[in-house]
Every structure is written in structure tokens, then in C-alpha cells.
Structure 1
Amino acid sequence: MSVDHYENFPVASVLCPPALRPAVAAIYYFARTADDLADEGDAPTAERAQALHDYRADLAAIVAGQAASPRWIHVFQPLKREMHRLQPALLHDLLDAFEQDLTPPRYSDRAQLLDYCRRSANPVGRLLLGLYGVNDGDALRRSDAICSALQLINFWQDFSRDGPNGRLYVPQADLDRHGVSAGDVLACRDSPAARALIADLCGWARTLMREGAPLALALPGRAGWELRFVVQGGLAILDKIEARGHDSLLHRPALRVWDAPRLAWRALTMRAAP
């Protein structure tokens, strides 16, 4: 699939077994559309909230074996065909996170931000593991660590985009510890203290990624290889932030075509602690 958005949602890549691609695509378009309802365009918050409420009602309808409204038929028709192998509670968790995005709170500490990641990112990993028939506790915990790390990396990558939109994902406890104000981050004001803060946040995300990385080595076949590239892609963004001295308030790092050989080598030679 070719998409214009930059978020870390799953895509039915060449590494995904053909039998699973319809389900992966259905998950992607469900999440992508809900995220657009929450974030895209100029609609007022009340209108967005109503749209997400209606979207959730359509999800409930197909879970109950009923027809969804025609409004998002391109989303719910393929999703309904795949519901027999998906967990509805995880799809509802995603909608909870998108609803929270309508009026994003300020996060007091890392635990509160991770609770957001539990609903905004972790369900994606658990849904994909379910498609592969993987549901043991260790695998789910490692998947959660990888998905939360990806969500955090996206935050530390996107300061220059989130700030102008009034979105702040840095916990207040981290701001206080480094002597940086919320206003500094929202205004993308660079400083030695801000760079030290970003270095600390990137270290947190890297630790989480390393906790989850063994899952990529444990999963067999295409699933393992796809996850290796996911892990290495996230780590590569952190490397880019570090290489520029943690200046991501000023510069948004991104993966480019010329990064592909390096990612492939890292995936090929990956060990338990990348």
C-alpha cells in the first residue's frame, strides 16, 4: 500500500504473508481513518467527537454481526470479513486513544504517557500477533514494549510538527527534572537543557525497544523479518536524533531511501540487544 501519512501504522508489506494481507490492510484502514477523523482537516472538536462516536457505533454493529452505516463502508466492509480473527476490545482501545487526541492532556509522568501508548500503539502489535497465532505472555509484553517505543520515537521525532498544533507529549516530571518549560517545547525553543531532555527521552525509548527486540528473533519466518525491520527503523530514527546532537526541536529526522541498505544489514545481523 502507498500512503501519504507518516505515522507508524502497519502496512501490508512484501514480508507479510499473502493470506494475512487483507486483515492487515483492514486494520490499517480502520486505524488510519479514525486517526484522520481525530486529526485531519478543520472540523471543530465537537464535530470530530461525534464522528468518532458514530465510527465506534459502526464498529459495534459489525462486531454484533450487523451492517455498518454506508458512511465508512470502505472501512467496515473489509473489516467485517476479518473480524473472526481480530479482538474487538483492541480496536475499541484504538478509538479511546483517538478520542483522547481531540483534547490531548498534559502528561504528569511517564506512567501516564505509557497508558496512552497502551491504547494508541500497543493494540496494533497485539492484533498482528493474533493474526500470526502468537498469544503467550512474554510475546505480548515484548510487543507492547516495541509498540510503545515506536510511539515515543514518533513523539521525539515530531516536536516541530506537534508544537505548532499545541500537542505536548513530554511528561511534566521530565520537564521539571531538566528545567525546561512546556512553553519552550511547544515553541520549539532549542537550548542545552532542551537537548539534554530529548537525549533522556530518547534513551527511555531505546531501552523500551531493546526490551522488546528479542521478539523479532523469536518469531519465525516473515513475521520475524518484518519485525526486525520495524525495530531497526525505530532505532535508526533515534540514531539520527543523536547524530544531530538531539536538536529535534529544530529538525525532524526521517528515514530515506539511502538508509535501506543499512537497515537491511542491521536486520540481517540483529542480535538480542540491538
Structure 2
Amino acid sequence: MSDPAGNDYARMLELAVCLLETRDPDHLWCAVAEELMRALGGEVVVGKDCEWAADDGPVRAWRRGAGSAADVPSRQAARLIREGYPFAGHYGTVQDRAPRTAAQLTGAGWRNSETASVLGQCLGTEHMLGLPLPGRSNPVRGFLIHRAGPDFDERALRYATAVQPLLRAAAAQHELLTGYAAPGVAGPNRGAERPSGAGTSDLGLTPRETAVLRLLAEGLPAQAIGRRLHVSVRTVHKHLQSVYRKLDAPDRLSAVLNAQRLGLLAPDAPRNVPAPAYNG
């Protein structure tokens, strides 16, 4: 694997652009999983969004080269993945979010564990790398990367650490895309029917511009929008200029009102929007 300071960083930037441009939340995670497998030499990636409980919660998995989500081959394998050995006992009890291998957490005990045995038989892999999203979220979210052959080395761990902020941004983008996937979805009023009118795609709004519009309707200034979306204030202002142009609005209040009229936001969205003269 190449050094994360070289070609992999370029690939991370390409992935970031891909994630910002996609409108399909399922494609977003497939793209992430494929890049993780390529960079880390993995065969299977498992996504973890819920509590590590052996008998509950969905299991999402991607196999290298499949191009889409893959089925977990057995109920026993699914149970062991949900159980999360040995990562649940580590990440679930401490605030450490550094990527770790199964062998790092258990030593020689990993190869003799039921999890290693069953996953080896079902997936054909021998080693696991836990790659949690950074932060203190609970339940812990992230990915488990499975591979055969030699264990993950220090270069793989450096790459995994370097990619964590991008994965956090991808998770935020996935939530925004999922939130806007159904007609009438607008923030907390999820599930309400949208009035007749143009949709965000009809107006040419990108997913990131739609996210900026939503946060604009919450009354957030540009700096706070940038922090929420993990982009610079300058980038936020560029998105705002594009949103104003596409909504034919001279300022933020007009943009939110026009968006509400078109059914892109909940009716009460503009209640906290500052006056048009506000330049935040």
C-alpha cells in the first residue's frame, strides 16, 4: 500500500469530490467501502451504525469488486459481527477512537476466538481492523475492514487515521442525503408531504447547497454552517451565492422564503432567520 502522504491522499480528495457530488446515499457508502478496501487491502467492509448487540440491528457489508452491498453469508456470522468482538468491549467503554486491529486488542487470543474462526470460514478472511468515526458519539459508528493474508501494518493504521475526518464528513453527508431522499422531507418535519412545486434537483441545487439552505433556514451564520458541514467560511459563501442565484433571491431571508414557497422547507423554517442585512 502506498504512503498516506502520497497517492492515497490524492485518492482521498477524489473520494471527497465524489461524495459531495453524489445524490444517492447508497452509492455514497459503496464508494467509501470500495476505497477503504483498495487502500487497506481488505476483502470485506462492514458498516456499523447501531449498538453492538448480538441479536439486534442490521448488518451492512460490501465485498471487494462487488460494486454494491453484499449479503452476510450466515446468521452466525451476522450475530458475531453485531456482537462486535473485540471492538465493542474497547470502543464502547473508552473514548479512544484510534483505529485498532483485532490482534492489537486481544493478542494471540484473536486467532483462537470463535469470531475469527467463523468469519474465516464464511468470509475467507483472517484479520479485522476497527475504524470508528472520530468523536464521542454513542453508539460508536464506523467500519470493520476484513482481510486475508498478513495483518494490517503500521502504514495501514496511518492511512486509517488520516481518513477518519473524511469518513465523519461522509456520515454527515449521508444523513443529509437520506433526509432529503423522500418527498416532503425537511428537517424535523420528516415525512410531511411537500407542496406542489419544484424540487431541489429541478432547481439545480446540489446536495451540499441543499444542506446549506437547510442550515440557513435554521438561522445559522456562515461560520456555524461551515463548522457543521466541515468546510471553510469561504466555501459556505460560494454555496450561498449559488443558492441565491438558483432561488432568484437577493439575500438569505428571501432565499428561505422562496424555498418555503416552493415546498423545499417546512412552513415554519424562516422563523429564526436574521434580517437580510446580516452578513454572517
Answer with 1 or 2: which has the greater Rg: 2
Which has more strand, going by share of residues? 2
Fold conserved between structures, TM > 0.5 = no
TM-score (norm 1): 0.34
